[in-house]
Amino acid sequence: MRWRLTLTLLLGEWRAHPLRALVAIAAIAVGIALGFAIHLMNAAAFNEFSSAIKGLSGIADIQVRATEPLFDEAIYPKIAQRSGVAIASPVLEIEASIPHQRSALKIVGNDALRAGFLTPDLIGISSSGGMMDALADDAIFLSPAAGKWLQTGAGQPLTIQLGMQQLALRVAGSLPQARAGQRIAVMDIGAAQWRFNRLGKLSRIDLKLRAGVDSTAFKTLLQQELDQAQPGRFRVSQPNDADQDSRNEGMSRAYRVNLTVLALVALFTGAFLVFSTQALSVIRRRSQFALLRVLGMERRHLIAQILLEGLSLGVVGAACGIAGGYGLAATALHFMGGDLGAGLFAGVQPQIHFAPVAAGIYFALGVAVAILGCAAPAFDAARARPAVALKAGTEEAALAGLARPWPALLCIALAAVLSQAPPVFELPLFGYLSIALLLIGTIALMPRLAAFTFRRAHQRWERAQAGKAGAPAILTLTLARLANASSQAGIALGGVLSSFSLMVAMAIMVASFRVSLDDWLRHILPADLYISSTSAGNTAGLHPAEQQALAALPGVEMADFLRVTAVSLDPARPAVALMARHVDAARPERSLAMVGDIAVPAADAAPPAWVSEAMVDLYGMKVGQRIELPLNGQRHAFTVGGIWRDYARPTGTIQIRLEDYRKLTGDQDASNAALWLRAGARAADTEAALKRLPFAAALDVSLPSDIRAMSMTIFDRSFAITYLLEAIAIVIGLFGVAATFSAQTLARAREFGMLRHVGLTRRQILAILAIEGGSLTGLGIVTGLVLGWFISLILVFVVNPQSFHWTMQLHMPWPLIGGVATLLLGAAALTALFAGRQALSGGPIRAVREDW
């Protein structure tokens, strides 16, 4: 009998107000779907990327690399002849530049006779069946994905850009064991060294140990011996261990976590929608629950009934969210790839796989959010005395417990403290917790804020109208109602506040980053023309003769050349970008976006180096510190001359002077060039002269405005998912406002009936509702703007620096904020009018019959 009653009450509530239930379900489903989809996409991309990386290492037990991309092969025979080594396979890795391609082709040069025992996936199969193709000096083997990308196959030529010249190779066959979507190529290591001007150079040595040899002990001993011979020169690791997974996972962790948190913003809004829906539903049915209590329903059964209503919303919403998330992830992987536009997992083709554990966690999260949202109304309904609750007009007293200020103030104070806490595992966990507490605390203060605001407004209005004949009754009644029903107003305000404040915070964060990026590009691109290769990779570049030809172009006053390479400073972290260019040590701010103090080293001190903000967070570097960088097989001392802002490389960048780099390494090549023109010279004339150079076809000429436009396009593509989340937050906010005001208006049918009895017309009551909706939404928008601004401060100055290790300036996107505020105001007023018409449709006698 009790279960029949429970089911009847549940289905009756759903039948009576289906739209309100659907809005709450949709809010939960959207939050779960976004979070689950992001998890599936990143998990698929990361697993595929990690598997591809492991495929390049094969079954090697030990791997030897250097702190620079290349090292002298003289170390190879010493390692290969060590006791305990069964097989030693030398490897040369090349990021080959393909003409007019923005992505590089990874070429692995190996010894086929040794690599077959360690990396069988990297053994090419000749299309002609010839055994000598694996040793031919012009033969290259492409993976299926690389062949499809380059639109070439066996027997056809492959052109690679080497410097400003072109190198023609013959596609001798394929790599059938390569992973789907993996763009790689393999050729003989001797041929690769010769063809790419890397004679005597290796990238790594893969070792297979004899049976019974302890790989951990061998690794430790080999590292010690190499450090004694050349301190800090080599890195000895176990390639397929947890450390490598951690390094790979760290590439996208901050990006993934930030997207997941933004996705859960929608879930948080859904939780509040469940709370507001259930709270107003409990208020509306307060007398019904009291009657059930009088008829014998126990308090615990009443609590279970209300919690069951929330549970049903959570189960349906979470189930729809899991299904929608899987579909969304599959669609996004098909059209956007696994990197969500961020370029973190280029060159892999991930496949979506359902994750039961993650699905269970997100499902439980959705259900928990729904139950927590209706917990407070359930316990409030159970605590109400039946004799009091049977009477009309006790709704405001039912919500009095929500207006206690001390829990809210405690949350806000704790949020302020946690916002200053350091990151945990290089993630701003305390920053996120601070945002959540700030939201909860401010929403909990809304009844007090509404009471203070509207009581002051009511008092001022009464004083202004004192002694006046024919004072407007509509505004007087509206302000009186808002002043004396602050708890119900607080619930309505909370819906506006949660959605609008989070939208404002996300909009400010994205706008601040976009504006800061544009300003940064303007600062670091002072030249008139920028010259680069038309292809990516590290085989294209400018030799000294070509640099001289560019500097001698007509109209060029000054030419600056840039050399980019990579160095490893910590085996547990990705390599750091080392950039060499002309920098004035006395005025580095002219060419770098400097942050903080600048130290000019003395004449007899180590040469200066300027480090990015990431180097401060990740490596603890500071201005004036002496650091050592591995260059040309040796460690050279530098002095940190300052810290600069770099939005391009969150893993860290070190800038040194080009003359110091060339003196220490002997490398005279350049990666890019920047040209300053003389006063009165035309860029078009210089470009025309450049196009007449014999190597002009391999160059790409760009104006600073073109580079900024392209960078902004990449930014918008990378933040496409963030824009989507922001749009969804706005839509959920609009639905939330509509659902909250609709529920509140329908719950006041008796009040409207009494107003009709005392003489108010339908038009006047609808005017009261429109003014109430506009007033409440206006207060929610103002409060949400302030709260969103504070949240944006945490996002801009805490979350982003701790996640990506860069700082930015604050920027307010007023047009977007104003547009959304207008939409919310309109939605609130229209919803109040629509719901008011429905509430007034039953007639005044029917509306007040429960008071008889």
The answer to whether residues 64 and 164 belong to one domain is yes
Q: Tens digit of pLDDT for each residue in 608-655?
A: 999 999 999 999 999 999 999 999 989 999 999 999 999 988 889 999
- Lowest model confidence (mean pLDDT) among 15-29, 292-306, 444-458: 15-29
**pLDDT > 70 in the chain, percent:** 82
699 Cβ contact partners less than 8 Å away, ≥ 6 residues apart: 164, 531, 532, 533, 534, 690, 693
Domain assignment of residue 687, yes or no: yes
Domain assignment of residue 491, yes or no: no
d(Cα 333, Cα 39) in Å, to the nearest integer? 12
For residues 565 and 68, the answer to whether their CB atoms sit within 8 Å is yes
Domain assignment of residue 835, yes or no: no
The answer to whether residues 226 and 282 belong to one domain is no
Among 203, 209, 194, 181, smallest CA distance to 44 is for: 181
For residues 353 and 333, the answer to whether their CB atoms sit within 8 Å is no
pLDDT at position 790 is 95
The answer to whether residues 91 and 29 belong to one domain is no
Over residues 142-168, mean pLDDT: 91
Domain assignment of residue 260, yes or no: yes
48's tokens: 């595929």
User: Left, alpha or beta for 309 (phi > 0: left; psi -120 to 50: alpha)?
Assistant: alpha
Residue after which a domain boundary falls, among 398, 417, 438: 398
Domain assignment of residue 741, yes or no: no
The answer to whether residues 341 and 205 belong to one domain is no
The answer to whether residues 291 and 145 belong to one domain is no
Among 460, 516, 515, smallest CA distance to 483 is for: 460
Q: Tens digit of pLDDT for each residue in 327-347?
A: 988 887 777 665 544 455 555
3-state secondary structure 190-246: HHHHHHCCCCCEECEEEEEECCCCCHHHHHHHHHHHHHHHCCCCEEEECCCCHHHHH
- Is residue 558 helix, strand or coil? strand
- Lowest model confidence (mean pLDDT) among 29-38, 502-511, 559-568, 775-784: 29-38
d(Cα 800, Cα 666) in Å, to the nearest integer? 39
0.85 cut: is pTM over it? Answer: no
Residue after which a domain boundary falls, among 398, 424, 442: 398
The answer to whether residues 228 and 334 belong to one domain is no
Domain assignment of residue 597, yes or no: yes
Cα radius of gyration (the chain): 34
The answer to whether residues 10 and 152 belong to one domain is no
The answer to whether residues 620 and 535 belong to one domain is yes
758 Cβ contact partners less than 8 Å away, ≥ 6 residues apart: none
The residue among 550 and 804 whose pLDDT is bigger is: 550
d(Cα 32, Cα 322) in Å, to the nearest integer? 7
Looking up tokens 């598997």 gives: 51
Among 183, 116, 99, smallest CA distance to 539 is for: 99
572 Cβ contact partners less than 8 Å away, ≥ 6 residues apart: 243, 246, 247
Total of domains in the chain: 3
408, 409, 411, 413 alpha-carbon torsion, rounded to 10°: 170
Among 262, 273, 263, 261, smallest CA distance to 27 is for: 273
Over residues 822-844, mean pLDDT: 71
The answer to whether residues 47 and 97 belong to one domain is no
What sign for the dihedral angle of Cα 462, 464, 469, 474?
A: negative
Domain assignment of residue 791, yes or no: no
- Tell me 104's DSSP state: P
The answer to whether residues 623 and 575 belong to one domain is yes
The answer to whether residues 290 and 314 belong to one domain is yes
The answer to whether residues 109 and 213 belong to one domain is yes
Over residues 775-784, mean pLDDT: 87
d(Cα 509, Cα 793) in Å, to the nearest integer? 8
End-to-end CA distance of the chain: 31
Domain assignment of residue 477, yes or no: no
Q: Quick one: pLDDT band at residue 439, thresholds 50, 70, 90?
A: confident
Q: Tens digit of pLDDT for each residue in 192-220?
A: 999 999 999 999 999 999 998 999 999 99
- Is residue 595 helix, strand or coil? strand
Q: Tens digit of pLDDT for each residue in 62-91?
A: 999 999 999 999 999 999 999 999 999 999
For residues 158 and 142, the answer to whether their CB atoms sit within 8 Å is yes
Residue after which a domain boundary falls, among 341, 371, 398: 398
- Residue 690 sits in which domain range? 529-702
